[in-house]
């Protein structure tokens, strides 16, 4: 029997996101003032271009992550401002080498690529490490609900499932 579940997580804005937006606004003001001093005739064009640029910077910080599990195939997509979708990773559950609750003590040194696809990395988050031909070595932090975890579990290798679900 085929199994399919999906879940969408909205990422909370962090201090880094607020700093990026603030820097974009301040930089835009500096450019507008400079334009006013150098060539006031270009001010309307510069103002329009900078407003558009700041708008795109602000909306690009509005992120959601969609997790979908279909017969052991895990796909994580990033949705930017509810308009643009990018595939973050697509991997088979059998390729997962370790999985468990995420915490500061989790070793991610050997991961070539670290992916935070969670609301915010906290004690309720989960992680998995995997190596595949397509993605290479990855360390993924995500916030799956119970249905997603239930769909992943049967496709994990034996010891990975024991370590992830019985020891935690």
pLDDT, tens digit (0-9, with 9 covering 90-100), for 8-22: 999 988 899 999 999
Q: Is 18 helix (H, G, I), strand (E, B) or coil?
A: helix
Predicted TM-score (pTM) of this structure:
0.83
For residues 21 and 55, what is the distance between their CA atoms, to the nearest angstrom? 9
Strand pairing category for 126-132 and 4-10: unpaired
pLDDT at 123: 64
| Gap between the Cα atoms of 148 and 16, Å rounded | 29
pLDDT for position 134: 75
Which has more confidence, 27 or 2?
27
pLDDT above 80 (res 135): no
- Is the Cβ–Cβ distance between 63 and 11 less than 8 Å? yes
pLDDT of residue 104: 73
> What is the tens place of the pLDDT at every residue in 88-118?
999 999 999 988 888 777 776 677 888 888 8
């Amino acid at each position: 029997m085929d199994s399919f579940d999906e879940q969408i997580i909205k990422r909370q804005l962090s201090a880094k996101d607020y700093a990026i937006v603030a820097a974009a606004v301040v930089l835009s003001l500096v450019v507008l003032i400079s334009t006013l001093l150098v060539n006031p005739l270009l001010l309307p064009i510069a103002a329009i271009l900078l407003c558009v640029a700041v708008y795109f910077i602000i909306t690009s910080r509005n992120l959601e992550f969609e997790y979908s599990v279909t017969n052991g195939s895990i796909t994580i997509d990033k949705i930017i401002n509810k308009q643009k979708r990018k595939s973050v990773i697509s991997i088979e559950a059998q390729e997962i080498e370790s999985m468990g609750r995420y915490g500061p003590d989790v070793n991610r040194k050997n991961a070539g690529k670290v992916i935070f696809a969670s609301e915010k990395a906290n004690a309720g988050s989960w992680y998995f490490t995997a190596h595949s031909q397509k993605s290479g070595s990855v360390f993924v932090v995500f916030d799956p609900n119970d249905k997603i975890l239930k769909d992943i579990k049967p496709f994990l290798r034996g010891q990975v499932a024991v370590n992830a679900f019985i020891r935690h």
